[in-house]
């Protein structure tokens, strides 16, 4: 994703200390923060070379130095692994936000108030939605979840069912359908690692939705449940306002 930023000009006054300049400090911190932990490799390499030069024939201390080098690499890779995992979670959060934005636009297009507008007003709103949707489409996020063909098909069917529900236009019926789907996510037949409710508290479920949902990956099941919970919150407000 490209970000346009205006250039920052720092005054070049002679004989003036710029070490405390916040802009300069920001650039320095941004450029160094991602590689500070790599400095240990150079330090350890220097220590290793020094230790080896002090050994007899360089063989006795070689094993110790190799062990130190191994520990350094493992420690740094552990840090990288943690940062990669955080980066992946951040990307997943962004993907989730993008999905919610898309869902919001679908809800606006199916809103009853929009249908009651004049043709000219409705066309203006639809054009505005298309512009916003096009702008959102310039942001591409792809965090790959490993799925087989069956799981891909199941996720596609789930998305189609939810999209159909969103486009119903009647918030009361859509809320009822959403509740059936959400109950299916909380069914005792779902993965035991998911948060579930006792059957007595769960209410009726949509068997077709549940059957397809069981074919999704665990990560997809969790994301679908979160998506339905957000949608239910919106539909509850719509039902009350109507």
pLDDT digits (tens, 9 = 90+) for 47-57: 555 555 555 45
Q: How confident is the model at residue 171 (pLDDT cuts 50, 70, 90)?
A: confident
What is the C-alpha separation between 109 and 120, in angstroms, rounded? 15
- Over residues 7-45, the pLDDT tens digits come to 444 444 444 454 455 445 444 444 445 666 676 666 555
Asked if 210 and 188 count as a contact pair (C-beta separation under 8 A), the reply is no
Exposure class string for 185-204: b at 16+ Cβ within 10 A, else e: bbbeebeeeeeeeeeeebee
pTM, two decimal places: 0.56
Choose among 141, 154, 151, 127: nearest CA to 99: 141
- For residue range 184-205, what is the model confidence (pLDDT) as tens digits? 998 755 555 545 444 435 678 9
- Rounded Cα distance, 92 and 145, in Å: 10
């Amino acid at each position: 994703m490209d970000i346009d930023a205006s250039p920052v000009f720092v005054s070049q006054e002679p004989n003036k200390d710029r070490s405390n300049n916040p802009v300069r400090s920001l650039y320095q911190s941004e450029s160094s923060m991602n590689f500070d932990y790599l400095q240990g490799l150079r330090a350890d390499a220097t220590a290793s070379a020094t230790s080896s030069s002090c050994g007899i024939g360089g063989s006795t201390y070689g094993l110790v130095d190799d062990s130190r080098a191994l520990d350094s690499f493992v420690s740094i890779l552990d840090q990288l692994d943690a940062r990669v995992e955080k980066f992946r979670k951040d990307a997943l959060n962004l993907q989730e936000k993008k999905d919610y934005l898309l869902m919001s636009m679908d809800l606006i297009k199916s809103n009853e108030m929009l249908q009651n507008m004049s043709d000219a007003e409705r066309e203006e709103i639809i054009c505005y939605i298309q512009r916003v949707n096009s702008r959102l489409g310039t942001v591409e996020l792809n965090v790959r979840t490993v799925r087989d063909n069956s799981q891909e098909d199941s996720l596609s069917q789930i998305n189609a069912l939810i999209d159909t529900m969103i486009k119903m236009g009647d918030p009361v019926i859509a809320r009822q359908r959403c509740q059936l789907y959400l109950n299916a996510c909380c069914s005792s037949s779902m993965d035991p690692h998911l948060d579930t409710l006792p059957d007595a508290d769960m209410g009726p479920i949509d068997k077709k939705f549940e059957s397809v949902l069981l074919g999704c990956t665990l990560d997809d099941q969790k994301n679908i449940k979160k998506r339905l919970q957000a949608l239910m919150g919106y539909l509850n407000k719509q039902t009350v306002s109507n």
